[in-house]
């Protein structure tokens, strides 16, 4: 059995994030995305939960995807944008099963994400997001709350 993984200073020391090993996300429809996996289906089994720290480079866009299970997103730095609005650091977004969204970040952001089940892409194309502050309503069903200042 593995021991607990501890990553300190995520909210009050942005350089703590810079010391982590980041990998380029290698899935289609996720341009400009880096990931630091905390655990994934290799640890939990096929169709199981996963969690990661995710970093969007400035201008990153992620195509619409659907959540078969819950997805929790906690924004650590920067601003994450989706059809539910702009989500600055300290925002917790809770996406229920059956919801979906496309994501973007104008200036870049970093967030913690927990997937109850692996997501699936809604279609094979990356959405055109000409103005990231006015994303089309794609029926996300997600709710966001600012939980920290």
Written as one string, the DSSP assignment of 39-68 is E-HHHH-TT--EEEEEEEEEEEEEEEEE-S
Taking the C-alpha atoms of residue 127 and residue 62, their distance in angstroms, rounded to an integer, is: 8
Note whether residue 35 is domain-resident.
Answer: yes
How confident is the model at residue 56, as a pLDDT?
Answer: 96
In a domain, 124, yes or no: yes
pLDDT for the residue numbered 34: 95
| pLDDT value of position 45 | 67
- Assigned domain for 16 exists: no
Q: What is the pLDDT of residue 141?
A: 53
pLDDT of residue 117: 73
- For 114-148, the pLDDT digits (tens) are 987 767 777 644 444 333 333 333 344 555 554 44
Q: Identify which of 129, 19, 41 has the alpha carbon closest to the alpha carbon of residue 83.
A: 129
CA distance 45 to 42: 6
- List the chain residues with pLDDT less than 50: 1, 124-140, 146-149
CATH number for the domain including 131? 2.60.120.10
User: What mean pLDDT, rounded, does the chain reach?
Assistant: 78
The per-residue pLDDT for 135 is 35
21 is a domain residue = no
Residue 131 included in any domain:
yes
Burial degree of 138 (CB within 10 A; 0-12, 13-18, 19+):
middle
For residue 72, is it within any domain? yes
Q: How many domains does the chain have?
A: 1
Residue 67 maps to a domain: yes
| Tokens representing residue 84 in the block | 């539910």
Cα Rg, the chain, nearest whole Å: 15
- The Cα–Cα gap between 11 and 29 comes to 28
Q: Please state, in angstroms and rounded to a whole number, the distance separating the CA atoms of residues 67 and 139.
A: 12
CB 121, CB 63: distance < 8 Å: yes
Residue 14 inside a domain? The answer is no
Please give the structure tokens belonging to residue 78. 């920067």
Question: Which range of residues forms the domain containing residue 61?
Answer: 27-146
């Amino acid at each position: 059995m593995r021991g607990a993984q501890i990553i300190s200073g995520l909210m009050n020391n942005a350089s703590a994030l810079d010391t982590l090993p980041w990998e380029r996300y290698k899935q289609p429809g996720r341009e400009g995305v880096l990931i630091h996996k905390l655990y994934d289906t290799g640890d939990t089994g096929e169709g199981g939960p996963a969690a990661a720290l995710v970093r969007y480079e400035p201008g990153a866009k992620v195509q619409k995807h659907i959540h078969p299970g819950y997805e929790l997103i906690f924004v650590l730095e920067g601003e994450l944008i989706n059809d539910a609005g702009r989500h600055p650091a300290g925002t917790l977004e809770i996406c229920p099963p059956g919801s979906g969204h496309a994501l973007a970040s104008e200036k870049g952001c970093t967030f913690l994400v927990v997937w109850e089940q692996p997501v699936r892409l809604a279609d094979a194309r990356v959405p055109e997001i000409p103005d990231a502050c006015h994303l089309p309503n794609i029926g996300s069903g997600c709710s966001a709350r600012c939980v920290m200042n």
